[in-house]
DNA sequence: GCGATAATCAACCCATCGGTTTATCAACCC
DNA sequence: GGGTTGATAAACCGATGGGTTGATTATCGC
Protein backbone atom coordinates (compact mmCIF):
# COMPACT_ATOMS: atom_id res chain seq x y z
CA UNK A 1 0.00 0.00 0.00
CA UNK A 2 1.00 3.60 -0.46
CA UNK A 3 2.39 5.39 2.52
CA UNK A 4 0.62 8.71 2.15
CA UNK A 5 -1.77 9.50 4.96
CA UNK A 6 -5.04 9.49 3.08
CA UNK A 7 -4.24 6.15 1.46
CA UNK A 8 -3.53 4.64 4.85
CA UNK A 9 -6.81 5.93 6.22
CA UNK A 10 -8.89 4.62 3.33
CA UNK A 11 -7.03 1.30 3.36
CA UNK A 12 -7.70 1.00 7.08
CA UNK A 13 -11.41 1.61 6.44
CA UNK A 14 -11.50 -0.99 3.66
CA UNK A 15 -11.93 -3.91 6.07
CA UNK A 16 -15.22 -4.78 7.80
CA UNK A 17 -13.49 -6.00 10.97
CA UNK A 18 -11.65 -2.72 11.32
CA UNK A 19 -14.79 -0.71 10.59
CA UNK A 20 -16.61 -2.67 13.29
CA UNK A 21 -13.78 -1.93 15.71
CA UNK A 22 -14.03 1.76 14.90
CA UNK A 23 -17.81 1.63 15.32
CA UNK A 24 -17.31 0.13 18.77
CA UNK A 25 -14.70 2.75 19.64
CA UNK A 26 -17.09 5.50 18.61
CA UNK A 27 -19.12 4.49 21.67
CA UNK A 28 -16.09 5.06 23.87
CA UNK A 29 -12.58 3.75 24.58
CA UNK A 30 -12.01 0.05 25.13
CA UNK A 31 -9.16 -2.40 25.78
CA UNK A 32 -8.01 -4.85 23.12
CA UNK A 33 -9.73 -7.99 24.41
CA UNK A 34 -13.09 -6.28 24.54
CA UNK A 35 -12.62 -5.04 20.98
CA UNK A 36 -11.82 -8.55 19.83
CA UNK A 37 -14.65 -10.31 21.66
CA UNK A 38 -17.26 -10.07 18.87
CA UNK A 39 -14.96 -11.65 16.29
CA UNK A 40 -14.12 -15.26 15.55
CA UNK A 41 -10.46 -14.44 15.31
CA UNK A 42 -7.29 -14.75 17.40
CA UNK A 43 -6.14 -11.91 19.64
CA UNK A 44 -3.05 -11.59 17.43
CA UNK A 45 -5.21 -10.83 14.41
CA UNK A 46 -7.04 -8.12 16.36
CA UNK A 47 -3.70 -6.75 17.46
CA UNK A 48 -2.64 -6.48 13.83
CA UNK A 49 -5.86 -4.72 12.88
CA UNK A 50 -5.28 -2.24 15.69
CA UNK A 51 -1.76 -1.61 14.46
CA UNK A 52 -3.15 -0.78 11.02
CA UNK A 53 -5.68 1.60 12.57
CA UNK A 54 -2.96 3.16 14.71
CA UNK A 55 -0.62 3.69 11.75
CA UNK A 56 -3.51 5.41 9.98
CA UNK A 57 -3.91 7.67 13.01
CA UNK A 58 -7.44 6.44 13.60
CA UNK A 59 -6.82 5.11 17.09
CA UNK A 60 -4.44 6.07 19.87
CA UNK A 61 -3.49 3.78 22.70
CA UNK A 62 -2.78 4.44 26.33
CA UNK A 63 -1.28 2.16 28.93
CA UNK A 64 -3.16 1.46 32.09
CA UNK A 65 -1.80 -1.46 34.03
CA UNK A 66 -1.81 -4.55 31.86
CA UNK A 67 -4.47 -3.04 29.61
CA UNK A 68 -3.89 -0.92 26.56
CA UNK A 69 -7.06 1.12 26.15
CA UNK A 70 -7.77 2.30 22.60
CA UNK A 71 -9.39 5.60 21.72
CA UNK A 72 -10.90 6.75 18.46
CA UNK A 73 -9.16 9.70 16.80
CA UNK A 74 -11.46 11.63 14.51
CA UNK A 75 -8.99 13.90 12.69
CA UNK A 76 -8.16 11.33 9.98
CA UNK A 77 -11.87 10.61 9.54
CA UNK A 78 -12.36 14.30 8.92
CA UNK A 79 -9.66 14.36 6.29
CA UNK A 80 -11.10 11.30 4.55
CA UNK A 81 -14.63 12.63 4.65
CA UNK A 82 -13.31 16.01 3.54
CA UNK A 83 -11.63 14.53 0.48
CA UNK A 84 -14.84 12.79 -0.53
CA UNK A 85 -17.04 15.82 0.01
CA UNK A 86 -14.65 18.10 -1.84
CA UNK A 87 -14.73 15.99 -4.97
CA UNK A 88 -18.42 15.29 -4.74
CA UNK A 89 -18.93 19.05 -4.68
CA UNK A 90 -16.68 19.47 -7.71
CA UNK A 91 -18.83 16.92 -9.51
CA UNK A 92 -22.04 18.77 -8.61
CA UNK A 93 -20.45 21.97 -9.90
CA UNK A 94 -19.48 20.39 -13.18
CA UNK A 95 -23.03 19.12 -13.54
CA UNK A 96 -24.21 22.67 -12.90
CA UNK A 97 -21.90 24.05 -15.56
CA UNK A 98 -23.13 21.41 -17.97
CA UNK A 99 -26.71 22.45 -17.31
CA UNK A 100 -25.88 26.09 -17.98
CA UNK A 101 -24.12 25.03 -21.16
CA UNK A 102 -27.24 23.21 -22.31
CA UNK A 103 -29.38 26.21 -21.52
CA UNK A 104 -27.04 28.41 -23.55
CA UNK A 105 -27.23 26.05 -26.51
CA UNK A 106 -30.99 25.90 -26.27
CA UNK A 107 -31.03 29.69 -26.34
CA UNK A 108 -29.47 29.41 -29.79
CA UNK A 109 -26.12 30.89 -28.90
CA UNK A 110 -24.21 27.69 -29.74
CA UNK A 111 -21.52 26.53 -27.36
CA UNK A 112 -20.32 29.36 -25.22
CA UNK A 113 -17.03 31.18 -25.53
CA UNK A 114 -17.77 34.58 -24.08
CA UNK B 1 -10.14 -7.81 -0.16
CA UNK B 2 -13.66 -8.22 1.13
CA UNK B 3 -16.45 -8.21 -1.35
CA UNK B 4 -18.94 -6.09 0.53
CA UNK B 5 -19.73 -2.81 -1.15
CA UNK B 6 -18.32 -0.40 1.39
CA UNK B 7 -15.04 -2.30 1.57
CA UNK B 8 -14.72 -2.15 -2.21
CA UNK B 9 -15.34 1.59 -2.19
CA UNK B 10 -12.79 2.33 0.53
CA UNK B 11 -10.26 -0.03 -1.04
CA UNK B 12 -10.74 1.76 -4.36
CA UNK B 13 -10.10 5.09 -2.64
CA UNK B 14 -6.95 3.77 -0.94
CA UNK B 15 -4.74 4.42 -3.97
CA UNK B 16 -3.46 7.85 -5.01
CA UNK B 17 -3.61 7.07 -8.71
CA UNK B 18 -7.26 6.10 -8.43
CA UNK B 19 -8.05 9.14 -6.29
CA UNK B 20 -6.40 11.34 -8.93
CA UNK B 21 -8.51 9.66 -11.61
CA UNK B 22 -11.65 10.33 -9.59
CA UNK B 23 -10.57 13.93 -9.05
CA UNK B 24 -10.20 14.33 -12.80
CA UNK B 25 -13.58 12.70 -13.40
CA UNK B 26 -15.20 15.10 -10.95
CA UNK B 27 -14.48 17.80 -13.53
CA UNK B 28 -16.41 15.84 -16.12
CA UNK B 29 -16.39 12.58 -18.11
CA UNK B 30 -13.25 11.53 -19.98
CA UNK B 31 -11.96 8.65 -22.13
CA UNK B 32 -9.34 6.25 -20.80
CA UNK B 33 -6.28 7.67 -22.57
CA UNK B 34 -6.96 11.13 -21.24
CA UNK B 35 -7.32 9.76 -17.73
CA UNK B 36 -4.00 7.98 -18.04
CA UNK B 37 -2.05 10.86 -19.56
CA UNK B 38 -0.81 12.38 -16.25
CA UNK B 39 0.67 9.09 -15.04
CA UNK B 40 3.96 7.39 -15.78
CA UNK B 41 2.23 4.10 -16.26
CA UNK B 42 1.08 1.82 -19.06
CA UNK B 43 -2.45 2.05 -20.44
CA UNK B 44 -3.06 -1.47 -19.13
CA UNK B 45 -2.38 -0.36 -15.58
CA UNK B 46 -4.86 2.49 -15.97
CA UNK B 47 -7.36 0.04 -17.39
CA UNK B 48 -6.95 -2.11 -14.27
CA UNK B 49 -7.45 0.88 -11.99
CA UNK B 50 -10.62 1.75 -13.88
CA UNK B 51 -11.86 -1.79 -13.47
CA UNK B 52 -11.37 -1.49 -9.71
CA UNK B 53 -13.26 1.81 -9.68
CA UNK B 54 -16.01 0.30 -11.80
CA UNK B 55 -16.41 -2.75 -9.55
CA UNK B 56 -16.73 -0.32 -6.62
CA UNK B 57 -19.49 1.46 -8.54
CA UNK B 58 -17.51 4.69 -8.57
CA UNK B 59 -17.34 5.02 -12.35
CA UNK B 60 -19.60 3.92 -15.17
CA UNK B 61 -18.45 3.53 -18.74
CA UNK B 62 -20.18 4.12 -22.02
CA UNK B 63 -19.12 3.22 -25.53
CA UNK B 64 -18.79 5.91 -28.12
CA UNK B 65 -16.96 4.70 -31.20
CA UNK B 66 -13.53 3.46 -30.23
CA UNK B 67 -13.60 5.47 -27.00
CA UNK B 68 -14.92 4.32 -23.65
CA UNK B 69 -15.91 7.50 -21.83
CA UNK B 70 -15.85 7.21 -18.03
CA UNK B 71 -18.25 9.03 -15.71
CA UNK B 72 -18.07 9.56 -11.98
CA UNK B 73 -20.86 7.96 -9.96
CA UNK B 74 -21.44 9.71 -6.66
CA UNK B 75 -23.76 7.25 -4.91
CA UNK B 76 -20.90 5.10 -3.48
CA UNK B 77 -19.10 8.26 -2.37
CA UNK B 78 -22.23 9.22 -0.48
CA UNK B 79 -22.36 5.85 1.24
CA UNK B 80 -18.69 6.05 2.21
CA UNK B 81 -18.96 9.60 3.45
CA UNK B 82 -22.19 8.66 5.23
CA UNK B 83 -20.50 5.82 7.10
CA UNK B 84 -17.73 8.13 8.28
CA UNK B 85 -20.06 10.92 9.35
CA UNK B 86 -22.36 8.54 11.16
CA UNK B 87 -19.58 7.19 13.34
CA UNK B 88 -17.96 10.55 13.82
CA UNK B 89 -21.30 11.76 15.14
CA UNK B 90 -21.55 8.77 17.48
CA UNK B 91 -18.11 9.69 18.81
CA UNK B 92 -19.15 13.31 19.42
CA UNK B 93 -22.21 12.02 21.26
CA UNK B 94 -20.16 9.76 23.47
CA UNK B 95 -17.89 12.70 24.26
CA UNK B 96 -20.97 14.67 25.17
CA UNK B 97 -22.20 11.94 27.50
CA UNK B 98 -18.76 11.79 29.09
CA UNK B 99 -18.83 15.53 29.70
CA UNK B 100 -22.22 15.28 31.40
CA UNK B 101 -20.90 12.42 33.49
CA UNK B 102 -18.00 14.57 34.63
CA UNK B 103 -20.34 17.42 35.48
CA UNK B 104 -22.44 15.03 37.56
CA UNK B 105 -19.41 13.81 39.44
CA UNK B 106 -18.20 17.37 40.06
CA UNK B 107 -21.63 18.19 41.46
CA UNK B 108 -20.84 15.67 44.18
CA UNK B 109 -23.39 13.08 43.22
CA UNK B 110 -20.77 10.43 42.45
CA UNK B 111 -21.13 8.46 39.23
CA UNK B 112 -24.71 8.55 38.12
CA UNK B 113 -27.19 5.73 38.31
CA UNK B 114 -30.49 7.53 38.56
C1' DG C 1 7.76 -15.99 43.57
C1' DC C 2 3.97 -18.12 40.81
C1' DG C 3 0.16 -18.77 37.90
C1' DA C 4 -3.21 -16.39 35.12
C1' DT C 5 -4.42 -12.69 32.03
C1' DA C 6 -3.49 -8.81 28.46
C1' DA C 7 -1.03 -7.93 24.59
C1' DT C 8 2.57 -8.24 21.28
C1' DC C 9 6.42 -10.28 18.36
C1' DA C 10 8.04 -13.46 14.79
C1' DA C 11 7.64 -16.65 11.31
C1' DC C 12 4.90 -18.63 8.05
C1' DC C 13 0.78 -19.42 4.42
C1' DC C 14 -1.99 -18.24 0.85
C1' DA C 15 -4.60 -14.79 -1.67
C1' DT C 16 -4.74 -10.36 -3.65
C1' DC C 17 -2.57 -5.99 -5.54
C1' DG C 18 -0.12 -2.98 -8.55
C1' DG C 19 2.58 -3.10 -12.12
C1' DT C 20 4.79 -5.11 -16.35
C1' DT C 21 5.05 -7.52 -21.13
C1' DT C 22 2.81 -9.73 -24.89
C1' DA C 23 -1.10 -10.50 -27.60
C1' DT C 24 -5.87 -9.52 -29.06
C1' DC C 25 -10.11 -7.05 -30.30
C1' DA C 26 -12.69 -3.04 -32.17
C1' DA C 27 -13.20 1.15 -34.59
C1' DC C 28 -11.43 4.82 -37.27
C1' DC C 29 -9.08 6.68 -41.73
C1' DC C 30 -7.10 6.32 -46.29
C1' DG D 1 -8.14 -4.16 -47.16
C1' DG D 2 -4.36 -2.32 -44.29
C1' DG D 3 -2.34 0.64 -40.85
C1' DT D 4 -3.11 3.29 -36.73
C1' DT D 5 -5.21 4.27 -32.43
C1' DG D 6 -8.20 3.09 -28.20
C1' DA D 7 -8.84 -0.29 -24.96
C1' DT D 8 -8.75 -4.78 -22.92
C1' DA D 9 -7.18 -9.84 -21.78
C1' DA D 10 -3.88 -13.02 -20.08
C1' DA D 11 0.17 -14.52 -17.90
C1' DC D 12 3.55 -13.34 -14.92
C1' DC D 13 6.27 -11.05 -10.82
C1' DG D 14 7.49 -8.92 -6.39
C1' DA D 15 5.24 -6.95 -2.52
C1' DT D 16 1.66 -6.56 0.71
C1' DG D 17 -2.57 -8.16 3.43
C1' DG D 18 -5.22 -10.94 6.57
C1' DG D 19 -4.96 -14.79 9.04
C1' DT D 20 -2.71 -18.63 11.71
C1' DT D 21 0.59 -20.98 15.33
C1' DG D 22 4.20 -20.59 18.77
C1' DA D 23 6.93 -17.99 21.85
C1' DT D 24 7.64 -13.73 24.65
C1' DT D 25 6.89 -9.62 27.65
C1' DA D 26 4.41 -7.25 31.28
C1' DT D 27 1.17 -6.80 34.84
C1' DC D 28 -2.17 -8.44 38.09
C1' DG D 29 -3.72 -11.33 42.27
C1' DC D 30 -2.38 -14.45 45.73
In tens, the pLDDT along B38-66 reads 999 999 999 999 999 999 999 999 988 88
SS3 B100: helix
DSSP A61: E
Q: Which residues of A touch B69 (CB under 8 A)?
A: none
Residue B55 CB closer than 7 angstroms to strand C? no
Contact at CB, B2 and A19, closer than 8 angstroms? no
How confident is the prediction for chain B on average, in pLDDT? Answer: 88
Backbone angles phi, psi at A59, to 5 degrees: -135, 150
| pLDDT computed for residue B30 by the predictor | 96
Which structural domains are found in chain A, ordered by start?
1-73 (1.10.10.10), 74-114 (no CATH)
Phi, psi of A4 (to 5 degrees): -80, 155
B92-106, pLDDT tens digit by residue?
887 766 656 556 555
Strand C, CB < 7 A, residues 20-79 of A: 31-34, 43-44, 46-47, 50-51, 61, 66-69
| pLDDT tens digits for range A40-87 | 999 999 999 999 999 999 999 998 888 999 999 999 999 999 999 999
> What are the C-alpha distances in Å from B90 to residues A109, B84, B86?
52, 10, 6
More confident residue, A95 or A32: A32
Band of the pLDDT at A111, cuts 50, 70, 90? Answer: very low
Residue A112's pLDDT band (boundaries 50, 70, 90)? Answer: very low
CB atoms within 10 A of CB B39: 15
Contact flag, residue A44 CB and nucleic strand D, below 7 A = yes
CB atoms under 10 Å from CB of A52, counted, come to: 18
Chain A contact present for B100, CB below 8 A: no
Q: What are the pLDDT digits (tens) for A91-108? A: 988 776 666 655 655 555
A112 near A45, Cβ under 8 Å? Answer: no
Amino acid sequence: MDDDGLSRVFAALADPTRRAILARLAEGPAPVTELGRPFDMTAQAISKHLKVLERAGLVSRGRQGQWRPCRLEVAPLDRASGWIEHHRAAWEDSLGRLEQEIVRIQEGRGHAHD
